[in-house]
Structure 1
Protein backbone atom coordinates (compact mmCIF):
# COMPACT_ATOMS: atom_id res chain seq x y z
CA UNK A 1 0.00 0.00 0.00
CA UNK A 2 1.30 3.41 -0.98
CA UNK A 3 -1.49 5.61 0.39
CA UNK A 4 -4.59 5.31 2.54
CA UNK A 5 -7.54 7.69 2.53
CA UNK A 6 -11.22 8.35 2.02
CA UNK A 7 -11.38 9.42 -1.63
CA UNK A 8 -12.91 6.72 -3.81
CA UNK A 9 -10.71 4.36 -5.78
CA UNK A 10 -11.16 3.70 -9.49
CA UNK A 11 -13.68 0.96 -10.23
CA UNK A 12 -11.42 -0.29 -13.03
CA UNK A 13 -7.77 0.47 -13.66
CA UNK A 14 -5.00 -0.95 -15.82
CA UNK A 15 -1.37 -0.45 -16.76
CA UNK A 16 0.40 -1.26 -20.04
CA UNK A 17 3.81 -0.70 -21.59
CA UNK A 18 3.11 -1.09 -25.30
CA UNK A 19 5.04 1.94 -26.61
CA UNK A 20 8.80 2.47 -26.26
CA UNK A 21 9.77 4.16 -22.99
CA UNK A 22 6.11 4.74 -22.07
CA UNK A 23 3.93 3.41 -19.29
CA UNK A 24 0.20 4.00 -19.80
CA UNK A 25 -2.21 3.99 -16.86
CA UNK A 26 -5.98 4.06 -17.45
CA UNK A 27 -8.83 4.22 -14.94
CA UNK A 28 -12.59 4.67 -14.78
CA UNK A 29 -15.33 4.96 -12.19
CA UNK A 30 -15.42 6.05 -8.60
CA UNK A 31 -16.57 9.44 -7.35
CA UNK A 32 -14.75 11.89 -9.58
CA UNK A 33 -14.05 15.21 -7.88
CA UNK A 34 -13.32 18.30 -9.96
CA UNK A 35 -10.01 18.95 -8.27
CA UNK A 36 -8.56 15.45 -7.98
CA UNK A 37 -5.32 14.30 -9.56
CA UNK A 38 -4.01 10.82 -10.27
CA UNK A 39 -0.95 9.85 -8.25
CA UNK A 40 1.15 7.14 -9.88
CA UNK A 41 4.08 5.28 -8.37
CA UNK A 42 6.52 3.05 -10.25
CA UNK A 43 8.58 0.73 -8.04
CA UNK A 44 11.68 -1.08 -9.27
CA UNK A 45 12.24 -3.92 -6.81
CA UNK A 46 15.64 -4.87 -8.29
CA UNK A 47 17.03 -1.36 -7.79
CA UNK A 48 15.07 -0.63 -4.61
CA UNK A 49 13.98 2.65 -6.18
CA UNK A 50 10.67 4.36 -6.80
CA UNK A 51 9.43 7.10 -9.09
CA UNK A 52 6.29 8.99 -8.10
CA UNK A 53 4.19 11.64 -9.77
CA UNK A 54 1.70 13.09 -7.28
CA UNK A 55 -0.15 15.10 -9.92
CA UNK A 56 0.16 12.93 -13.03
CA UNK A 57 -3.18 13.88 -14.60
CA UNK A 58 -6.60 15.19 -13.69
CA UNK A 59 -8.76 12.30 -12.52
CA UNK A 60 -11.47 13.04 -15.10
CA UNK A 61 -8.92 12.53 -17.93
CA UNK A 62 -8.93 8.77 -17.16
CA UNK A 63 -5.47 8.22 -18.69
CA UNK A 64 -1.83 9.12 -18.13
CA UNK A 65 1.11 8.28 -20.37
CA UNK A 66 4.38 8.46 -18.47
CA UNK A 67 7.25 8.96 -20.92
CA UNK A 68 10.49 7.78 -19.37
CA UNK A 69 14.18 8.51 -20.11
CA UNK A 70 16.22 5.95 -22.08
CA UNK A 71 17.91 4.51 -18.98
CA UNK A 72 14.54 3.00 -17.94
CA UNK A 73 14.39 0.73 -21.00
CA UNK A 74 13.95 -2.99 -20.18
CA UNK A 75 13.37 -2.32 -16.48
CA UNK A 76 10.46 -3.88 -14.60
CA UNK A 77 8.15 -1.73 -12.51
CA UNK A 78 5.34 -2.49 -10.09
CA UNK A 79 2.69 0.18 -10.64
CA UNK A 80 0.34 1.76 -8.09
CA UNK A 81 -2.49 4.26 -8.61
CA UNK A 82 -4.17 6.58 -6.11
CA UNK A 83 -6.03 9.87 -6.27
CA UNK A 84 -5.30 13.03 -4.32
CA UNK A 85 -7.11 16.35 -3.89
CA UNK A 86 -5.20 19.09 -5.68
CA UNK A 87 -4.63 20.85 -2.34
CA UNK A 88 -3.22 17.55 -0.95
CA UNK A 89 -5.83 17.54 1.85
CA UNK A 90 -7.08 14.00 1.16
CA UNK A 91 -6.25 10.93 -0.90
CA UNK A 92 -7.58 7.52 -1.83
CA UNK A 93 -6.21 4.18 -0.79
CA UNK A 94 -3.75 3.09 -3.46
CA UNK A 95 -4.47 0.31 -5.94
CA UNK A 96 -1.83 -2.12 -7.19
CA UNK A 97 -2.11 -2.40 -10.98
CA UNK A 98 0.58 -4.99 -11.68
CA UNK A 99 4.07 -5.26 -13.11
CA UNK A 100 5.20 -4.01 -16.52
CA UNK A 101 8.50 -4.06 -18.41
CA UNK A 102 9.42 -0.83 -20.19
CA UNK A 103 10.06 -1.34 -23.91
Structure 2
Protein backbone atom coordinates (compact mmCIF):
# COMPACT_ATOMS: atom_id res chain seq x y z
CA UNK A 1 0.00 0.00 0.00
CA UNK A 2 1.34 3.45 -0.89
CA UNK A 3 2.03 6.09 1.75
CA UNK A 4 -0.77 8.75 1.69
CA UNK A 5 1.65 11.55 2.64
CA UNK A 6 3.99 10.63 -0.21
CA UNK A 7 1.05 10.41 -2.60
CA UNK A 8 -0.13 13.91 -1.58
CA UNK A 9 3.38 15.29 -2.08
CA UNK A 10 3.65 13.61 -5.49
CA UNK A 11 0.27 15.05 -6.52
CA UNK A 12 1.28 18.58 -5.46
CA UNK A 13 4.51 18.25 -7.45
CA UNK A 14 2.60 16.97 -10.48
CA UNK A 15 0.14 19.88 -10.23
CA UNK A 16 3.03 22.39 -10.04
CA UNK A 17 4.68 20.83 -13.09
CA UNK A 18 1.42 20.97 -15.06
CA UNK A 19 0.84 24.62 -14.14
CA UNK A 20 4.37 25.55 -15.19
CA UNK A 21 4.02 23.68 -18.47
CA UNK A 22 0.87 25.72 -19.26
CA UNK A 23 2.68 29.03 -18.76
CA UNK A 24 3.60 30.91 -21.92
CA UNK A 25 6.83 32.10 -20.28
CA UNK A 26 8.55 31.89 -16.90
CA UNK A 27 10.73 34.67 -15.50
CA UNK A 28 12.94 34.17 -12.45
CA UNK A 29 12.67 36.90 -9.80
CA UNK A 30 15.06 36.92 -6.82
CA UNK A 31 13.68 37.68 -3.36
CA UNK A 32 14.23 41.15 -1.83
CA UNK A 33 15.68 42.68 -4.99
CA UNK A 34 14.07 45.22 -7.29
CA UNK A 35 13.97 43.62 -10.71
CA UNK A 36 12.76 44.86 -14.08
CA UNK A 37 10.90 42.18 -16.00
CA UNK A 38 9.98 42.34 -19.66
CA UNK A 39 7.00 40.50 -21.11
CA UNK A 40 8.34 38.06 -23.71
CA UNK A 41 5.20 38.52 -25.85
CA UNK A 42 4.50 42.27 -26.01
CA UNK A 43 7.78 43.71 -24.69
CA UNK A 44 6.10 45.78 -21.95
CA UNK A 45 8.30 46.10 -18.86
CA UNK A 46 7.55 46.48 -15.17
CA UNK A 47 9.61 46.75 -12.00
CA UNK A 48 8.74 44.23 -9.30
CA UNK A 49 10.08 43.19 -5.93
CA UNK A 50 9.10 40.18 -3.81
CA UNK A 51 9.60 41.17 -0.18
CA UNK A 52 10.33 38.52 2.43
CA UNK A 53 11.05 38.83 6.16
CA UNK A 54 14.48 38.29 7.70
CA UNK A 55 15.35 34.62 6.99
CA UNK A 56 17.09 34.34 10.38
CA UNK A 57 13.81 34.83 12.24
CA UNK A 58 11.20 33.62 9.79
CA UNK A 59 10.67 30.34 7.95
CA UNK A 60 9.22 30.70 4.46
CA UNK A 61 6.02 28.89 3.59
CA UNK A 62 6.05 28.47 -0.17
CA UNK A 63 4.55 25.01 -0.33
CA UNK A 64 7.15 22.35 0.43
CA UNK A 65 10.06 24.76 -0.28
CA UNK A 66 11.95 26.09 2.75
CA UNK A 67 15.17 27.10 1.01
CA UNK A 68 15.86 30.85 1.10
CA UNK A 69 18.40 30.51 -1.70
CA UNK A 70 15.51 29.45 -3.92
CA UNK A 71 14.08 32.13 -6.21
CA UNK A 72 10.46 32.83 -7.02
CA UNK A 73 9.13 32.58 -10.53
CA UNK A 74 6.71 34.92 -12.27
CA UNK A 75 4.60 32.97 -14.73
CA UNK A 76 3.00 34.79 -17.62
CA UNK A 77 -0.06 33.27 -19.22
CA UNK A 78 -2.48 34.38 -21.89
CA UNK A 79 -5.53 36.18 -20.48
CA UNK A 80 -7.46 36.16 -23.76
CA UNK A 81 -6.86 39.83 -24.61
CA UNK A 82 -4.40 39.34 -27.46
CA UNK A 83 -5.10 37.53 -30.74
CA UNK A 84 -4.87 33.76 -30.58
CA UNK A 85 -1.67 32.18 -31.82
CA UNK A 86 -1.66 30.07 -34.94
CA UNK A 87 -1.96 26.36 -34.08
CA UNK A 88 1.33 24.51 -33.90
CA UNK A 89 2.35 21.11 -32.52
CA UNK A 90 3.50 22.82 -29.29
CA UNK A 91 0.21 24.61 -28.57
CA UNK A 92 -2.31 22.34 -30.30
CA UNK A 93 -5.21 21.22 -28.14
CA UNK A 94 -5.64 17.59 -27.23
CA UNK A 95 -9.42 17.48 -26.69
CA UNK A 96 -11.38 16.31 -29.70
CA UNK A 97 -14.73 14.72 -30.30
CA UNK A 98 -16.56 16.50 -27.47
CA UNK A 99 -19.73 16.77 -29.56
CA UNK A 100 -20.73 13.34 -28.28
CA UNK A 101 -21.62 14.99 -24.95
CA UNK A 102 -24.13 17.43 -26.47
CA UNK A 103 -27.49 17.33 -24.75
CA UNK A 104 -26.24 15.08 -21.97
CA UNK A 105 -26.09 12.03 -24.23
CA UNK A 106 -22.96 10.04 -24.87
CA UNK A 107 -22.18 8.10 -28.01
TM-score of the superposed pair, with normalisation by structure 2: 0.30
Higher strand share: 1
Q: Report which of the two structures shows the higher radius of gyration computed on alpha carbons.
A: 2
Higher helix share: 2
